[in-house]
């Protein structure tokens, strides 16, 4: 996926992202990631605006410059 930006907005990914996945420049705008295991996932400059990230495991995930505007993170392990 060299040089490409993956757009996954408005989809449901319940328990669908694996550990240490590189989603550095991905657009997850409006996505439902409820109960996903995202340990060590790279989301450094990802767009998570309006995403539902409830009850996710985000331990060691990289969220440095990610756009989290109106992103729902309730119950997530950060």
Residue 49: predicted pLDDT: 92
Q: Residues 35, 16: contact at Cβ < 8 Å?
A: no
Per the DSSP assignment, residues forming a β-bridge with 11 are none
Q: What domains can be seen in the chain, in order of their start residue?
A: 1-78 (2.160.20.80)
**Looking at residue 70, what is its pLDDT?**
94
State the pTM of this model: 0.72
pLDDT of 57 above 50: yes
pLDDT at 14: 52
- Per 3-state DSSP, the chain is made up of helix, strand and coil in percentages (nearest 5) of 0, 20, 80
Summarised one tens digit per residue, pLDDT across range 7-48 is 555 455 555 566 778 888 888 888 888 888 888 989 899 999
Q: How confident is the model at residue 3 (pLDDT cuts 50, 70, 90)?
A: very low
Distance spanning both ends of the chain, measured CA to CA: 27
Per DSSP, what are the bridge partners of residue 27? 7, 47
């Amino acid at each position: 996926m060299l040089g490409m930006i993956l757009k996954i907005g408005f989809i449901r990914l319940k328990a669908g992202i694996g550990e240490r996945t590189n989603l550095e420049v991905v657009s997850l705008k409006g996505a439902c990631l409820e109960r996903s295991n995202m340990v060590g996932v790279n989301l450094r400059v990802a767009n998570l605006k309006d995403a539902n990230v409830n009850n996710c495991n985000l331990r060691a995930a990289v969220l440095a410059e990610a756009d989290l505007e109106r992103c729902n993170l309730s119950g997530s392990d950060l």
